[in-house]
Structure formats: structure tokens, C-alpha cells
């Protein structure tokens, strides 16, 4: 369905036919804008940014591009088209018609899922609000803002569901989404990782590669939901999310490319020499990968989860690409988990498959993460450099699930606390790494110019040249 841009809130849900809902959302809109102006990107609210906006929700040409001031961005409500006669794809209600309204018995669980997802969207905008001040180029600055406005739109996507389907409680939750703030000691964001500031660009690219991809897998699971409006909302969010991970993958790829150039120029792989030339050495990059990947592992929840089993049984949250599986009910199936045993041992524990849902989603995520890693390694190999970026084991540095509190090496072998401490500086970013990365963060805003630690992109955005004035600063 085409998007109606004539209304105060752009939408493709016929908002004007439901006066009460429209009024409620129009009441929330200025609160959202106040939040954006006070906690969105700092220092650029008056800049003209070359942004894309959705014009329709189909795969062809969904975007138009143009310079807009971010507070004037047309945030709206865009659902993927309704699939005719869609039926429930998994769980105990398999094959029955999907729900257009929230079933009473699943109200609390669905509200919870929507609020938790919704909370991460504005959280990431808050985490990244200072990054513009140290952007490596105008091209990157524009990409940061594109990600930020779309996370803002994802908040709209969840707030619409809360308003439209959860009554007064939903409206209260929508207000709360603007009242919790990333890192606020009194009223923090729901998930721990979303309370850590992202104040350097290496972390931003890691976040968009690894953490936004966790978002992708959460959305893919929710896009299978029997609650049809949630499924349709998440489907469209996924098309936006793809760009965020592109930013991460190409950002890290360009950092690697720059490191390889410097290594070739100087004919060395000595990290200190590479740092002296202003680039980021590959071992440092690997430590950041280890850190970000392992914190994302926890976002999927515990390997064994009765909540996840309940969500699956009830048809609330499925597996990504549920249609590609054979058994959609998993009533008697089991799943083998590798869990810690004794001090430094490993054993297999067989659990009901429904209880291992988080682990199945996590494994699909890991496979998806490998695609970019393989591309980065191809660059490194092509340059004739003997180094391989690897993803650590899903057991490494866990704070959630059976591996929490157990030390392992990056390959996942259990080790003692002393051995972990002794190797920590090889495996995880050190204070010196962080200080070095911070020292590189200087704003570059001349069109086409790049900071010394990152190579230019292969091409610009929307067929524009790399030196296009993607952000007009005022
Ligand atoms: Fe998002
Ligand atoms: Fe995202």
C-alpha cells in the first residue's frame, strides 16, 4: 500500500480512519521530537543531511533521497503488505489463521517483546549521539545519521503497535520508551549493552556489524509471529536494518584496507609502526571483534530458556526463516547443548528443542556474521598478509547462560581464571588500545577527505560521488 505523506504522521495503515488512534499518536509525536532534539545527534540538528525516506514498502524503489534537516525527517508507520490467508507457521497452533488482534492470554508476553525491542531503538541513538563530532568523513557522517533516523523510525514502528493494540497500558509503555535513557543510573535502558556509550567510530562500526545484526535476528524471529501486525512491521524494519549492517561491514573493511596499505608502504606488520602511521593494526581490530561479538552472544539469552520455549509454543516468536525448517512444532525433538562440566571440562546436555530456541537463533546469527569476516579475510589474503580475522567461540566471555562465570580461551576451551587473566591483553581491547583508538578520533568534514585510519568507500551513496557534500553543515 502506498505511503500517505499528506498527514502529520506518514503512514500506510489508513491512520486517518481511526481518529482516536491518530490523536493519541499525534499527542506522542511532539514528545518524540523533544527527545530527538535533546538526545539525538548532538550539534547537527540544523545540518542538511542527504537521507533516504521510505516511499513504498515493496522491494523496488522504496526510498527517495534528498537533503533534509533531521528534525524534519518524515518518521512514520510503514508495515509490509498483508499476506492473504496467512497461517501460523510454528508451535502448538500451527496452521491456524494468524491473529489480527492480540489474544488475551498472550497480551503480557507480546507487550513485553515489543517493549524490549522498542527500547533498543532509541537507546542506540542515545549511545551514538556524540559520534558526529569525530566523524572520519562526510560520507560516514551521513551514514551515521541515516542509521540514527531509522532507529528513530523503528521506535515509531513499536510505538504504533503499543498504541494500536495495547490500550492505555500500551500508551504508558510508549511514554516510558522516551523516559528511559541509555546510561541513566535511575532509569536505564532495559538491556545492559544498550547503556554503554559508543564514543569511537571503531566501536560504531563493530556495533552496526554485530549488534545491529543481533537486531536483524530478533526482527527475523518476530517477523514469523502469529500476531500479524507485528510480523508485518518487522518485515519492513528488516529492509532498513540491512543498510546498518552494510555500514558496519564496509566500515570495518575500509579500516582493514587502510591497515594493509600502510603495512605494504612500510613493509612491516609491527603494530607500533602501523600506529605511528596513523592506521589501526589488525591484532587490535581482532580484540575489538572478540569484545563485540562476545557481548552480542549474550543478547540472544540463555542457551536453555523456558521463556523462549513458551514463546515458540504459543506462536509469538519463531526461528528466523521458519519456513526453511521441516519440523515446525518441535514437540518431541531434542537439541544437544555443549555445557561446562566440573572445573575445566565440557559435556553434552540434551534438552527439549523448544528450550534451545535461543541457541538455534544464536547459531544462525553466527553463520551470518561469518559472511563479512570471510570477505575481510579475502582482502587480507589478497594483500599477501598472513593474518586471519576469527570469531571467538560462543562460550567465550559470556555473562548469560551456562557459560557465565566460566573462563574459556577464544576457541572455547575452558581454562582457569589465572590463565584467562594472563592472556586477557591478547584477547580483549586493552586500555592502551582504547586510548590509541580515541586518539584517532578527529573530525574530518571536507567533502571527499578521509581520516588516515580508514580507506575511502568504493562508491558513494545513491550513485553520488564519494566527495559529494552528503552533509551541509550550518
Ligand atoms: Fe533498529
Ligand atoms: Fe539498526
Rounded to whole angstroms, what are the CA distances from 385 to 262, 263, 267, 282, 388?
A: 12, 9, 10, 10, 9
- Ligand 2 centroid–CA 205 distance in Å is 12
- Ligand 2 centroid–CA 203 distance in Å is 14
Contacts of 118 (CB under 8 A, 6+ apart): 154, 155, 157, 158, 159, 162, 173, 177
- Ligand 2 centroid–CA 147 distance in Å is 6
d(CA 81, CA 15): 15
Contact present, 12 and 74 (Cβ < 8 Å): no
- Ligand 2 centroid–CA 104 distance in Å is 31
- Ligand 1 centroid–CA 92 distance in Å is 29
Model pLDDT, residue 61: 61
Model pLDDT, residue 225: 98
Contact present, 308 and 384 (Cβ < 8 Å): no
Q: Domain map of the chain by residue range?
A: 15-472
- Ligand 1 centroid–CA 260 distance in Å is 32
Model pLDDT, residue 1: 63
Contact present, 297 and 311 (Cβ < 8 Å): no
Environment class of 6 (CB within 10 Å of its CB; exposed 0-12, middle 13-18, buried 19+): exposed
Q: What topology does CATH give the domain 15-472? A: Ribonucleotide Reductase, subunit A (1.10.620)
Model pLDDT, residue 214: 96
d(CA 371, CA 365): 10
Ligand with minimal distance to 212 CA: 2
**CB under 5 Å of ion ligand 1: residues:** 121, 151, 154
- Ligand 2 centroid–CA 246 distance in Å is 10
- Ligand 2 centroid–CA 207 distance in Å is 9
| Whole-model pTM over 0.95 | yes
Torsion angles phi and psi, residue 469, rounded to 5: -85, 80
Ligand with minimal distance to 207 CA: 2
Residue labelled with grid coordinates 547462560: 401
Which cell numbers in the block locate residue 249? 561491514
- Ligand 1 centroid–CA 207 distance in Å is 12
For 78, the 3-state DSSP assignment is: coil
Model pLDDT, residue 192: 87
Which cell numbers in the block locate residue 456? 575511502
pLDDT truncated to tens, each residue of the chain (474 aa)? 677 888 899 999 999 999 999 999 999 999 999 999 999 999 999 999 999 988 777 766 678 899 999 999 999 999 999 999 999 999 999 999 999 999 999 999 999 999 999 999 999 999 999 999 999 999 999 999 999 999 999 999 999 999 999 999 999 999 999 999 999 999 999 998 899 889 999 999 999 999 999 999 999 999 999 999 999 999 999 999 999 999 999 999 999 999 999 999 999 999 999 999 999 999 999 999 999 999 999 999 999 999 999 999 999 999 999 999 999 999 999 999 999 998 778 999 999 999 999 999 999 999 999 999 999 999 999 999 999 999 999 999 999 999 999 999 999 999 999 999 999 999 999 999 999 999 999 999 999 999 999 999 999 999 999 999 999 997
Amino acid at each position: 500500500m502506498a505511503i500517505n505523506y499528506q498527514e502529520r504522521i506518514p503512514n500506510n495503515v489508513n491512520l486517518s480512519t481511526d481518529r482516536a488512534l491518530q490523536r493519541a499518536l499525534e499527542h506522542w509525536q511532539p514528545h518524540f521530537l523533544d527527545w530527538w532534539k535533546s538526545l539525538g545527534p548532538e550539534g547537527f540538528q540544523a545540518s542538511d543531511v542527504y537521507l533516504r525516506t521510505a516511499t513504498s514498502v515493496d522491494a523496488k524503489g522504496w526510498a527517495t533521497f534528498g537533503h533534509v534537516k533531521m528534525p524534519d525527517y518524515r518518521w512514520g508507520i510503514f508495515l509490509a503488505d498483508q499476506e492473504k490467508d496467512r497461517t501460523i507457521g510454528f508451535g502448538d497452533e500451527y496452521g491456524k489463521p494468524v491473529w489480527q488482534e492480540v489474544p488475551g492470554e498472550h497480551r503480557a508476553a507480546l507487550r513485553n517483546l515489543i517493549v524490549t525491542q522498542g527500547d533498543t531503538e532509541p537507546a542506540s541513538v542515545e549511545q551514538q549521539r556524540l559520534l558526529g563530532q569525530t566523524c572520519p568523513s562526510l560520507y560516514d557522517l551521513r551514514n551515521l545519521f541515516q542509521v540514527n533516523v531509522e532507529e528513530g523510525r523503528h521506535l515509531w514502528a513499536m510505538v504504533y503497535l503499543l498504541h494500536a493494540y495495547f490500550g492505555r497500558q500500551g500508551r504508558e509503555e510508549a511514554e516510558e520508551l522516551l523516559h528511559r535513557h541509555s546510561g541513566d543510573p535511575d532509569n536505564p535502558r532495559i538491556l545492559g549493552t544498550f547503556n554503554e556509550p559508543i564514543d569511537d567510530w571503531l566501536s560504531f562500526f563493530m556495533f552496526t556489524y554485530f549488534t545491529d545484526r543481533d537486531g536483524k535476528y530478533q526482527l527475523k524471529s518476530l517477523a514469523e509471529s502469529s500476531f500479524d501486525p507485528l510480523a508485518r512491521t518487522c518485515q519492513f524494519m528488516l529492509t532498513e536494518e540491512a543498510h546498518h549492517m552494510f555500514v558496519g561491514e564496509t566500515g570495518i573493511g575500509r579500516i582493514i584496507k587502510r591497515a594493509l596499505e600502510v603495512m605494504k608502504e612500510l613493509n612491516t606488520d609491527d603494530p607500533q609502526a602501523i600506529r605511528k602511521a596513523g592506521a589501526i593494526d589488525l591484532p587490535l581490530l581482532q580484540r575489538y571483534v572478540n569484545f563485540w561479538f562476545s557481548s552480542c552472544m549474550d543478547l540472544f539469552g540463555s542457551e536453555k530458556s523456558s521463556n523462549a520455549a513458551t514463546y515458540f509454543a504459543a506462536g509469538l516468536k519463531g526461528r528466523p526463516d521458519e519456513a526453511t525448517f521441516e519440523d515446525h512444532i518441535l514437540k518431541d525433538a531434542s537439541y544437544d547443548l555443549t555445557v561446562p562440566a566440573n572445573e575445566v571440562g565440557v559435556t553434552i546436555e540434551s534438552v527439549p528443542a523448544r528450550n534451545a530456541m535461543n541457541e538455534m537463533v544464536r547459531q544462525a546469527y553466527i553463520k551470518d556474521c561469518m559472511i563479512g569476516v570471510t570477505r575481510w579475510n579475502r582482502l587480507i589474503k589478497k594483500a599477501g598478509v598472513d593474518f586471519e580475522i576469527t570469531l571467538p567461540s560462543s562460550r567465550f566471555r559470556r555473562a548469560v547462560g551456562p557459560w557465565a562465570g566460566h573462563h574459556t580461551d577464544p576457541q572455547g576451551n575452558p581454562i582457569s581464571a589465572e590463565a584467562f587473566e594472563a592472556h586477557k591483553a591478547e584477547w580483549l581491547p586493552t586500555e592502551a588500545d582504547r586510548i590509541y583508538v580515541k586518539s584517532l578520533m578527529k573530525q574530518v568534514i571536507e567533502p571527499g577527505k578521509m581520516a588516515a585510519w580508514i580507506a575511502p568507500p568504493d562508491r558513494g551513496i545513491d550513485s553520488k560521488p564519494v566527495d559529494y557534500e552528503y552533509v551541509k553543515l550550518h
